Amino acid sequence: MAKKRGRKSKRQYFTEDTEHAIIEYLASEDQAERNRIYNTRIHFSFYKLAENLIHTFKFYYTEVDDLEDLKHEVITFLLEKLHYFKAGKGKAFSYFSIVGKNYLILYNNKNYAKKKGKADLIEVDTDDNILNGFERESIRQEKVEFLDLYINYIDKRLDKLFKKEDEKKVADAVLTVLKRRDHLEIFNKKAIYIYIREITGLETPIITKTVKVLKGVYQKCYSQYLETGYIYDHE
């Protein structure tokens, strides 16, 4: 009886050895050893990861003439952020996928905006349909992942961020809303103030002041998340 062929893993280019190699690379202080580890055990994984991200999410708005150049730009960015990876805080594949995808999202959107400014109206309409679909599938998922980290970050630091009980009450109400979120742009919705006022019984000025602090932390955390895939203390 013929044996069934097993399916090859789509991620076999990024293996346990790749993760071990990254850990060894970060632990080494010898540049020659680092170069050897990177060239023999990491580079190919980064190359294939960049290639798969570009084609899976259709990051085709580019300034370069050849997608090979874009792959190498992604690899360079991954190398720049490599030292942020912390063993034990998650898998290397997930971390570098997030970092690479976030870089490509920003790069893609920047070049799309340039292209949109130069294109005629018909071309823009066609491209909008493509980009809107891309945003729903990619950017929204990134925001969902980030919001979970953000909620946890604020939840653990309420006493540090807010000294007054009324401010803590507002912040806790905002976190409750985020946990029940049906949409992502919660801080941009005027209705949030009415809802928070109903929950807390507090006036708009204290709500506005607290939300402003939360929004500032949100922006700092999101910038950091886009660069590293993590959220750290900002003190």
Mean pLDDT score across all residues of the chain: 77
What would the pLDDT profile of 178-205 be if each residue is shown by its tens digit?
777 654 444 445 556 666 777 788 877 8
* pLDDT of 3 above 90: no
In degrees and rounded to multiples of 5, residue 87 shows phi and psi of: -60, 135
Which is nearest to 45 in space by CA: 104, 95, 103, 89?
A: 95
DSSP secondary structure letters along 211-231: HHHHHHHHHHHHHHHHHHSS-
pTM of the model: 0.51
Tell me what pLDDT residue 194 has.
66
Q: What number of residues does the chain have?
A: 235
* pLDDT of 126 above 50: no
